[in-house]
């Protein structure tokens, strides 16, 4: 069974093909072409954390593909009342064609996938957010062409998005600079395992020099709400401002997975400015995940 728990579940070749397919599916959608490869198929969507983009994009994807989806929150399911993951996985996967999960521990999606009889998609865990990277890579490709050999700078927390950028650097062949405050670096084992060219910094200005893409994310992720104040102090020098963007290449793009906090991790003038492609990036969640759903459907 092929699952999509991290970007490493697909080969580099498959990922690049998937991005091309996402661009095709986007054009087909804009041309009002009806394409229903998931007719009568069902996607179960397990959300243990909040979501706007991920939920709307997967639900829309399934409707446009001729199928349907079921939104499952822990407030309403037995999973939320402690039914074992392996039992839930066996039961849910016996009735649907694909499962998408957003949760806390990465091990939970691994365990669910192990007991599932249908493909499982990681829609964000504490450790990874691979679906967002599909959209980010599509967006870069649409604006600038291939990302291979380019330099990307990650600014801020060494979090789930940062870890998926580390995987993407290896799979798509770009150089990745990572600027974090001391103590907020990405996980050492994920850095150590990576075959990508990674450079770790504790200064934003040094890291962004000669970058083609600058990316950031919130200072406190879902589940870290009580650390907000402490993190505001730790990350005070890690805002992506116009001054920071000026160190990057002139044609550098700015991305953010959203939701964003203007005045914290990014200045309003940057996220709402000319180099920002965040709205295309958000829309591309739909097209990239359609390509992913189609891929998993055809390859299982």
Report, as residue numbers or ranges, the catalytic residues. 102, 129, 132, 217, 257, 285
Dump the DSSP string for 142-198: HHHS--TT-EEEEES--SHHHHHHHHHHHHHT-EEEEE--TT-PPPHHHHHH--S-E
Length of the chain: 300
Nearer Cβ to ligand CP (10/282)? 282
The entry of ligand CP, ligand NVA, none that residue 52 binds, CB within 5 to 8 Å by partner kind:
ligand CP
Is 257 one of the binding residues for ligand CP (CB under 6 A)?
A: yes
Tokens describing residue 37: 């490869």
Q: Candidates 50-58, 61-69, 225-233, 260-268: pick the segment binding ligand CP (CB under 6 A).
A: 50-58
CA distances from 87 to 83, 93, 123, 297 (A): 7, 10, 20, 23
Span of 29-37, 143-151, 202-210, 217-225 interacting with ligand NVA by CB under 6 A:
217-225
CA distance 257 to 272: 14
Report the residue from 90, 173, 258, 297 that binds ligand CP according to the rule CB under 6 A.
Answer: 258
Which of ligand NVA, ligand CP, none interacts with 218 (beta carbon under 5 to 8 A by kind)?
ligand NVA
Least Cβ distance, residue 202 to ligand NVA (angstroms): 20
Separation CA 130–CA 4 (nearest Å): 8
Rounded to the nearest whole angstrom, what is the least distance from the CB of residue 21 to ligand NVA in the complex? 23
Question: Cβ 282 to ligand CP, closest distance in Å?
Answer: 7
Decide if 239 contacts 265 (C-beta within 8 A): yes
Using CB under 6 A, pick the residue from 51, 60, 110, 275 that binds ligand CP: 51
CB nearer ligand CP, residue 158 or residue 201: 158
How many C-beta atoms lie closer than 10 Å to residue 207's C-beta?
Answer: 25
**Helix segments in 173-264, DSSP class H:** 188-193, 204-208, 228-234, 242-247
x/- binding map, residues 54-93, to ligand CP, per CB under 6 A? Answer: x---------------------------------------
d(CA 151, CA 198): 10
Q: Which of 16, 21, 26, 53 binds ligand CP (CB under 6 A)?
A: 53
Q: Are 180 and 19 in contact (CB under 8 A)?
A: no
Positions that interact with ligand NVA (CB under 6 A): 124, 159-161, 217-218, 221-222, 257
Positions in the binding site for ligand CP (CB under 6 A) = 51-54, 124, 132, 257-258
């Amino acid at each position: 069974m092929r699952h999509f728990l991290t970007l490493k579940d697909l080969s580099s070749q498959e990922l690049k093909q998937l991005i091309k397919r996402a661009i095709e599916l986007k054009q087909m959608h804009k041309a009002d072409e009806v394409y229903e490869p998931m007719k009568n198929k069902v996607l179960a969507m397990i959300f243990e954390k909040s979501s706007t983009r991920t939920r709307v994009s997967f639900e829309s994807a399934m409707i446009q593909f001729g199928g349907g989806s079921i939104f499952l929150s822990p407030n309403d399911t037995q999973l939320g009342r402690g039914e074992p993951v392996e039992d839930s996985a066996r039961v849910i996967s016996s009735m649907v064609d694909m499962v998408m999960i957003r949760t806390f521990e990465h091990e939970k999606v691994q365990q669910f996938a192990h007991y599932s009889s249908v493909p499982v998609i990681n829609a964000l865990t504490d450790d990874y957010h691979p679906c967002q990277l599909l959209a980010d890579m599509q967006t870069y490709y649409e604006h600038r062409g291939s990302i291979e050999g380019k330099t990307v700078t990650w600014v801020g927390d060494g979090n789930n998005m940062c870890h998926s950028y580390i995987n993407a650097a290896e799979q798509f062949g770009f150089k990745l600079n990572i600027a974090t405050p001391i103590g907020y670096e990405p996980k050492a084992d994920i850095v150590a395992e990576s075959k990508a060219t990674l450079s770790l910094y504790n200064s934003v200005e040094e890291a962004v020099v000669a970058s083609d893409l600058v990316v950031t994310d919130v200072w406190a992720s879902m589940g870290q709400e009580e650390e907000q104040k402490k993190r505001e102090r730790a990350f005070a020098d890690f805002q992506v401002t116009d001054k920071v963007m000026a160190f990057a290449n002139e044609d550098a793009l700015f991305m953010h997975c959203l939701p964003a906090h203007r005045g914290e991790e990014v200045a309003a003038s940057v996220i709402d400015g000319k180099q920002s492609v965040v709205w295309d990036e958000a829309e591309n969640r739909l097209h990239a995940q359609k390509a992913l759903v189609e891929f998993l459907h055809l390859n299982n």
